[in-house]
Structure 1
Amino acid sequence: MPDDDSSPISASDAKRLFADWKAAPALVLAVSGGPDSIALMWLAARWRRSVSRGPRLVAVTVDHDLREEAAREAREVKRLAHALDLEHRTMRWRGAKPQAGVPAAARSARYQLLAQAARSAGATHILTAHTRDDQAETLLMRLLRGSGIAGLAAMARESKRDGLWLARPLLDVPKSRLIATLGKAGINFADDPTNRDAAFTRPRLRALLPTLAAEGGDARSLARLAWRFARANAAVEIFADGAERYLALRGSEARPGGYDAKAFAALPEEIRLRLLKRAIDRYGHEGPAELGKVETLLAALDRAVADQVRLKQTLAGALVSFARDRIRVEPAPIRRQGTKRTSS
């Protein structure tokens, strides 16, 4: 696809962007009404008309009930979807909204509603309109939070979640090309002022991008960096897979979640960290463990193995222990309501 950042996306470009999902039975298009998602819907409809057989397309708009304009914008998306011969559904985030952490809560609610619509439609994939600009912003956000290699890989073109695939066909497309595409087609789109609200992290970082670009850190370079992290992460994951199989072969007990401590200690720190996090996420019952907390626990575990002292700690609903040259990770006892778990 041509890399002119201001050129409209052609029909042949669109065909390449969506080719990976031609065999899917149905696709849900996440369409908020902004320029990126409107372009996604318009391009997907154009692509679908160009192929003799392809998936059923269902545009879904999530009304978060956070802005007065949201309901009107959903109706505008519905009108355009019908003009493009696409099905459309509006899903509403009902109930009380949190006082803090609204963006994260809204993202979680949006995914749940999109997943609900996808299952109802028999769709295997949810297509979102994340662009190269979004990828660059995500990298910056995770860099500032001190993410590891996996986090700095930012967003993948395709990832699986709860039995559904999240697909991002526009991930290497600059936002400017989408706006140029809509301009050429004469299609209007909504303007969400929260995208410029400096009360939120992403808009503040977005405002910094022109300054970073002047120093060579434009969206293209940042997205390329994320891709390089993704490449490195994939290689390390293969190493971790092999190490996990090796430790399983070295295991002397049939019970799950155990490692030979000496063999584990001989592995590189990054591999030990990943294996420990995998085990905690596998056997824990309180969601994915935070990387920083796993790093702290690994340091304590390494000291215990080196000094040959017993260790027993809980993290994210998993119990991690070391005794008699054996490291174990297993589900922690469920806490009773109103009690706190302690580490030892």
Structure 2
Amino acid sequence: MSDDTANPARMLEALALHSVVLLAISGGPDSMALLHLAAAWRDADPKAPRFFTATVDHGLRAEAAIEAAKVAEWSLALGMAHKTLVWTGEKPITGVQERARSARYALLVDHMREIGATALATAHHADDQWETVMIRLARGSGIAGLSGMSRDQGFSGGRLVRPLLHLPKAALVDYCRARGQEFFDDPSNADPRFARAQWRELAAPLHRLGFTRERASKLSERAEKCDRALAWAAMRFLEEAQIPTENHAYDFSNALNAPTAIIEYVLQLALIKAAGAPASRLERVERLAVRLETALKTDAELFATLGGCVVTLNRDRRLKIALEPQRKRGL
């Protein structure tokens, strides 16, 4: 593992801006390494954040409650307050991992509010990033998707920070073993029903062919730079095109010769501004961008619905976005 472990504050430096941090601890080797690094930082530096820990019991395995209780024991032994968060109610038959992930983050964000935390730290590592990039490559994702998981991103409840994203899982396992720290292995990690488990089986041969964790990480970093550049350009365009007298109305005259990628990013950003949430699938945004380009070049009008919004373009190249009226059943 990196020599940075001798300096936990450097390993977790993205958390230094926060006074209260919630650590998501599942009991696996990666999250237990995160727990020990946070405890070491706290013990060495009185200016370190206040750390709290939480474990989510999804109710999908009988052993989960026992494991959560053990994580609570390990957390308390290191002087950290712990809470087990339980996902209650009926469980889905399909899309289990996706639904469980959504439920997990919802529970963690609620607990953040309870303790006054402004950051949620997870122990995602380089192997997770490699799997994410491969899954998104297979789905034909755009630049934003190929950015993989961000080390530090905002959300409605604060910041989601992944300080261990550059480290392989094997290094985190070694770190725990060197400290005599026990951990759990989640059997779902090897369950062939799940996509990530299937990609893990392909990891070794793909690494030999050259698509290593390091190269996947470099790809995601470069894609993220491009994504941020396009988002920055789209924001500048919208600021200049905004019509002051109307909400979510823009003069698109200057978009006539803009690159298609910029049009797509501008549309996505404008839809987010209007609806408060990301637009629908990338393919639909791409199709609308093509229609918009054609309308701009032919001085035609355009009417479309996307992402819960109505998008219109008049012959003066004025683009207007409004929330789609609530549909009535039976009409």
TM-score, normalised by the number of residues in structure 1: 0.91
CA drift of 1:12 comes to: 2.4
2: CA distance, partners of 1:21 / 1:109 = 24
| Aligned with residue 332 of structure 1, among 320, 324, 327 | 324
2:146–2:224 Cα contact (<8 Å) kept = yes
Q: Which residue is equivalent to 1:275?
A: 266
Question: 2:122 corresponds to which residue?
Answer: 128
Task: Specify the SS of the correspondent of 1:171.
Answer: coil
In structure 2, the partner of 1:19 is: 13
**1:314 corresponds to which of 295, 305, 318:** 305
Take 2:302 and 2:236, find their aligned partners in 1: how far apart are those partners?
26
Match of 1:342 in 2: none
Task: For residue 73 of structure 1, report the CA deviation from its aligned partner.
Answer: 0.6
Structure 1 counterpart of 2:72: 78
Aligned equivalents of 2:277, 2:143: Cα separation in 1? 23
Q: How does 1:1-344 map to 2 (within 5 A)?
A: 7=1, 11-248=5-242, 251=243, 254-284=245-275, 288-325=279-316, 326-337=318-329
* CA shift digits 1:187-212 (9 cap, x unpaired): 11111111111111111112111111
CA RMSD of aligned residues (A): 1.7
Partner amino acid, structure 2, of 1:101: G
Distance 2:328 2:95 in 1: 27
- Unaligned segments of structure 1, at least 5 residues: 1-6, 340-344
The Cα of 1:20 is off from its aligned counterpart by 3.3
CA shift for structure 1 position 163? 3.1
CA distance in 2, matches of 1:338, 1:178: 56
Structure 2 unmatched runs, 5+: none
Sort the Cα spacing of 1:270 and 1:287 in 2 relative to 1 into closer, same or farther, 3 A: closer
Cα separation, 2, equivalents of 1:238 and 1:10: 33
Structure 2 vs 1, CA of residues 40 and 216 (structure 1 numbering), >3 Å: closer, same or farther? same
Counterpart-to-counterpart distance in 2, 1:287 and 1:156: 17
**Letter of the 1:335 counterpart:** R
Return the alpha-carbon distance in structure 1 between the equivalents of residues 153 and 330 of structure 2. Answer: 37
Q: How far 1:287 sits from its partner (Å)?
A: 5.1
Query: Counterpart of 1:130 in 2: which secondary structure?
Result: coil
SS of the residue aligned with 1:312? strand
In the alignment, the residues of structure 2 paired with residue 57 and residue 74 of structure 1 have an alpha-carbon distance, to the nearest angstrom, of 18
- Tell me if structure 2 keeps the 8 A contact 1:281–1:289: no
Amino acid at match of 2:257: A
Partners of 1:11 and 1:85 lie apart in 2 by: 20
Larger CA deviation: 88-97 vs 140-149: 140-149
Deviating beyond 6 angstroms after TM superposition, the runs of 4 or more aligned structure 1 residues are none
SS at match of 2:52: strand
Q: Distance in 1 between matches of 2:78 and 2:84?
A: 16
Contact residue 23 and residue 54 of structure 1 kept, 8 A:
no
Give the C-alpha shift of residue 296 in structure 1: 0.9
Q: What is the deviation of 1:134?
A: 0.9
TM-score (norm 2): 0.94
Give me the whole-angstrom Cα distance separating, in 2, the residues matched to 1:171 and 1:321: 42
Q: Work out the percentage of aligned pairs sharing the same amino acid.
A: 37
Query: Shift of residue 301 of structure 1?
Result: 2.0
